[in-house]
Chain A
Amino acid sequence: MASKNQGPAAPRALVVEDIKVDLVVLLRMLRKLNCEATVAHNGKEAVDLFLEGKTFDIVFFDKDMPVMTGPEAVTKIRGMGASGVKMVGVSADFGGLEAFMQAGADVFVPKPMKLETLDAMLQEVIGKKNMSG
């Protein structure tokens, strides 16, 4: 599932989240920040997207999900050689920080994520995209 993007350098985000409320809120924030967003409902769906050859600039992982957790998905995707994509662990669970960082995530953000925090991360991603041409 993808929503519309706007702008030539719009970052492509993957949101990996099983809780519908959290998903709707994050998607709305991304849309507000002119970010193209794709959804996966668990870690396995996210891994499958990468196996299909899909590429993203930034991925937001919830921690506890059915089938495959966020940290498990991070480990698998990093193991596939996906080093250029920014991986963000997101959780209301304070134990999420250690789990995600050990798995290979770039950053951990506690839930609920603030719009300013999301904007700053996307600006960094856009900056890197523009530099790499």
Chain B
Amino acid sequence: MAAAALREQLNALLSSMYASGLVDDQFQQLQMLQDDGGTPGFVAEVVTLFCDDADRIISELAALLEQPVVDFDKVDAYVHQLKGSSASVGAQKVKFTCMQFRELCQHKNRDGCIMALTLVRNEFYDLRNKFQTMLQVVPYVLKGPFDFQVFTGIVKMEHMLLKLKRIACPCFLLKFV
């Protein structure tokens, strides 16, 4: 019964991600690649890789745009990477913002690039939060018996980690923060 409620929650989350344009049909391709092939961790693997990569790129971009003289070629190269990987996972909003970001790079518009970075960061964080929720719910939807205490514990821990931003804790959830 609890699993059914979670399944409904998961479906609502995925529907809202598609409806808001956060993800596009490429994300559906990833889901199909997992469903058909019997590779249960595939979407989780790709999403985690993307989030780690995007986090790193956004940090690099922030550092580059803080320089007194901005190397717009380097900025463009990073944005191009982010655009490519966001397209591969179906992160539509992030991809479109990266396209605009690249145009600003080509015009060497520093202020515009800083604004674009803020937008990309916000959109990425929004997407990452939803991916994290999705990945935490999915195992409990797919499993047979549902351990509500374990699930509640994990949700509470997630909220704690998000509040504290980053803590030194040997917890598997850290890879999602």
Contacts and interface: CB of A to CB of B under 8 A. Distances in A.
Interface of A: 19-22, 24-25, 28-29, 31-32, 64, 91-93, 111-112, 114-115
A25 B80 contact: no
Given A28-B42, A32-B37, A92-B80, A21 B89 contact: yes
A-B pairs, top 8 by smallest CB distance, nearest first, are A21-B85, A92-B84, A112-B88, A22-B88, A21-B49, A21-B50, A28-B33, A112-B87
Query: What range describes how many residues of B lie at the interface?
Result: 20 to 34
Given A25-B88, A111-B88, A115-B29, A19 B37 contact: no
8 contacts: A19-B81, A24-B45, A25-B30, A32-B36, A64-B80, A92-B87, A93-B80, A112-B26
Grouping DSSP codes into helix (H, G, I), strand (E, B) and loop, the A interface class, with mixed when no group exceeds half, is: helix
Given A21-B88, A91-B84, A115-B29, 20 more contacts: A19-B53, A19-B81, A19-B84, A19-B85, A20-B49, A21-B46, A21-B49, A21-B53, A21-B85, A25-B33, A25-B46, A25-B89, A28-B33, A64-B77, A64-B80, A92-B83, A92-B84, A111-B84, A112-B87, A112-B90
A28 B90 CA distance: 16
B152 interface: no
B39 interface: yes
Contact of B49 (A24, A31, A64, A111): A24
A111 B87 CA distance: 7
A111 B89 CA distance: 11
Grouping DSSP codes into helix (H, G, I), strand (E, B) and loop, the B interface class, with mixed when no group exceeds half, is: helix
Contacts of B83: 92
Interface in B72-113: 77, 80-81, 83-85, 87-90
Contacts of B80: 64, 92-93
Contacts of A22: 84-85, 88
Interface string B41-59: 0100110011001000000
A115 B42 CA distance: 16
A13 B33 CA distance: 19
B53 A28 contact: no
A88 to B, nearest CB: 16
Contacts of A29: 33
A25 B80 CA distance: 18
B154 to A, nearest CB: 25
A92 B85 CA distance: 9
A24 B90 CA distance: 14
A21 B32 CA distance: 16
Contacts of A92: 80, 83-84, 87
A132 B108 CA distance: 53
A19 B86 CA distance: 11
